[in-house]
Amino acid sequence: METVTPKLITVYAEATPNPDSIKFVLNKELLPAGYSFDFPDQQTAQESPLAAMLFKFSFIKGVYISQNFVTVSKLADSMWAELIPIIRTFLKEYITAGDPIISTQMQEAYAPKESEEVDENEVIAKIKEILAQSIKPVVEMDGGNIEFKSFEDGVVTVALKGSCSGCPSSTITLKAGIENLLKRMVPDVREVVAESL
């Protein structure tokens, strides 16, 4: 009889442009592709057992969970050199134990609905396509996420999550990068703004 040895979980830390956020990358899928959840405070984290446990550390300010990484934001007076080994060990043990990432209720609430028919115009479809294909992968590499919220009167509103939320360079990225690209590719776009959290 062949015994199956469980896959060894590895976790490594990557710096992000936000000095108060670190991206912890795992060799295991945490959420299905396309899913991500932002928990900017302890109260919102109650729907995620993983985020709720991370918030028990007094130095944690925010948690963002994506397909194969967790971005953790710390309080300004904490030092990453001391915190990274603690968080890495916690994540490795938590994931190895097979404990839940998000609640069943949250999974069901955010599950794609097959019967949902999206009625959007060509401009919005083009904006969403550019965000998904050109911008989102780059933002995810930095431990964050960008989501389309609305398009009205030439203004695209997006939500910045994870390490992008509160990052000192996010305004530059938003205006110099994202806004310039969308204006070039979609002439109807005049401006890109971030939804205030």
Calculate mean pLDDT across residues 164-168.
65
Full-model pTM? 0.72
Task: Measure the CA angle with vertex 132, ends 131 and 134; round to 5°.
Answer: 65
Residues 163 and 93: their CA atoms lie apart, in Å, by 23
Q: Is 25 within 8 Å of 142 (Cβ atoms)?
A: no
pLDDT band of 197, cuts 50, 70, 90: very low
Q: Tokens 């990052």 belong to which residue?
A: 167
Torsions phi, psi for 180 (to 5 deg):
-60, -45
Predicted confidence (pLDDT) per residue in 4-55, tens digit: 556 788 999 998 888 899 999 999 999 887 788 989 999 999 999 999 999 9
